[in-house]
Amino acid sequence: MSELLARHRAVMPQWMALYYAQPIEITGGKDNRVVDGAGNSYLDFFAGILTNMIGYDVAEVREAVERQLATGVVHTSTVYLLRGQVELAEKVARLSGIPDAKVFFTNSGTEANEAALLLATYERRSNQVLAMRQSYHGKSFGATAVTSNRAWKNNGLSPFHTVFLHGADKHLPQFAGLSDADYIKVCVEDLRHTLATATGGDVAALIAEPIQGVGGFTMAPDGLFAAYKEVLDEYGILFISDEVQTGWGRTGQSFFGIQNHGVTPDAMTFAKGLGNGFAIGGVVARGDLMDAPHAVGLSTFGGNPIAMAAANATLDYVLSHDLQANAAERGAFILAGLHEAASRFPFVGDVRGKGLMFALELVDPSTGAPSPELASRMMEETRSRGLLAGKGGLYGNVMRMAPPLTLTSEEAAEGLQILIDSLEAISS
């Protein structure tokens, strides 16, 4: 492994992050477990950054891809009719709840967010965009411009005039002690004040994650985006929900994260889990919004036949096995266990999440300050016990976890026990 790591460092950029003091190569996987190059087995609680949504080596997905490969058609591009693309778009449009919805497929969430921002700025003839503090929307020039996390921004250059809102930062001292209802009122008044003071009055859109992924699974209280949308509608401002991490039933409460707020957005972006490891992204939006741009458009690789085969099979599996309900049940069990255990560990600053999207925030027990060092220790402890997790948060002090939606009750109990054992190890 040290030889592969040396080769990696010789040819890969140094800013390309690797987990763990001794990075691992994943060489195999089955169901919800993976194996590394040294033969170690792990229960996967991060799913390739929320992408292996129904686990590994799923027969239905593998066979769908093999059938497409057997036709000899791996690629055509969107200048030809693609049956799998049409079929998937029909499903996504129906599930979105957006009236008269149309779908455009891309290769990633970053591309999807770029496309959605293009639609919004074209429609409104404005480059002014609202986004949320602590947000992350991708690594491209435009997506970085609406990202509010300094660790993921190389400079302040931007194609947009972006203003960042409160809404997922109830933990800040100025909001301490507020109920969710009072916090929503404060945030709505701040939105009105922001529109009056920091914009030119013709804002194109608000783009927001219902639960912030890189932000450490911080989230707005349910109902905040409904309150925001009332204000946005007064000004004709469009609303884009970034569902790259929250889509397809992961939160347990709803099929798309924004539905927890009782909101139908103008557009939603998606990616990651829909392809169960195959590259896919996309935008689903109101038909008039999607049809509006006058320039010719296509996608060379977006929505390619292989990705469509995988995505159709994955979505069908999610629906036929009611994995949203499974996410609700397994997530509630794990979160309850973590909440109960957290009271014994003063360095656990917060336990949060919905469904199979949950996090532990680690802090200095004496000051309450964010502790990325403890998060790194926790990563090593869980790995040594056979569990893979993720790390994030504005200060890098959050363990974020999102197992495959196929997680069993036995695996949920196993993973919870590993987390508790790792907390015990850190406390000793």
Whole-number percent of the chain with pLDDT over 70: 100
Contacts of 313 (CB under 8 A, 6+ apart): 58, 60, 61, 63, 64, 65, 276
* Mean pLDDT, all residues of the chain: 97
Q: Which residues of 34-72 are buried (b: 16+ CB within 10 A; e: fewer)?
A: bbbeeeeebbbbbbbbbbbbbbbebebbeebbeebeeee
pLDDT band for 256, please (50, 70, 90 cuts).
Answer: very high
Residues 314-348 have pLDDT tens digits of: 999 999 999 999 999 999 999 999 999 999 999 99
Please report the pLDDT score of residue 413 as a whole number. Answer: 98
Please report the pLDDT score of residue 333 as a whole number. Answer: 98
**Which DSSP helix (H) or strand (E) runs through 331?**
helix 323-342
Residue 420 has pLDDT above 80, yes or no: yes
Residue 83 has pLDDT above 80, yes or no: yes
Residue 392 has pLDDT above 90, yes or no: yes
**pTM score, whole prediction:** 0.97
Strand order in the sheet with 281-286: 101-106, 281-286, 267-270, 238-242, 205-208, 128-132, 161-165
Residue 1 has pLDDT above 80, yes or no: no
Q: For the residues 134-151, what does the mean pLDDT come to?
A: 96
Phi/psi for 105 (5° steps) reads -95, 145
Please report the pLDDT score of residue 122 as a whole number. Answer: 98
Residues 209-248 have pLDDT tens digits of: 999 999 999 999 999 999 999 999 999 999 999 999 999 9
**Interatomic CA distance for residues 83 and 127, integer angstroms:** 35
pLDDT band for 66, please (50, 70, 90 cuts).
Answer: very high
Q: What is the DSSP-derived secondary structure letter of residue 220? A: P
Residues 23-64 have pLDDT tens digits of: 999 999 999 999 999 999 999 999 999 999 999 999 999 999
Residue 80 has pLDDT above 80, yes or no: yes
CATH number for domain 80-320, candidates 3.30.30.60, 3.40.190.10, 1.10.20.10, 3.40.640.10:
3.40.640.10
Q: For the residues 400-421, what does the mean pLDDT come to?
A: 98
Please report the pLDDT score of residue 428 as a whole number. Answer: 82
Residue 409 has pLDDT above 90, yes or no: yes
Q: For the residues 55-74, what does the mean pLDDT come to?
A: 98
* Of the candidates 163, 170, 128, 167, the residue with the CA atom closest to the CA atom of residue 148: 163
Residues 96-128 have pLDDT tens digits of: 999 999 999 999 999 999 999 999 999 999 999
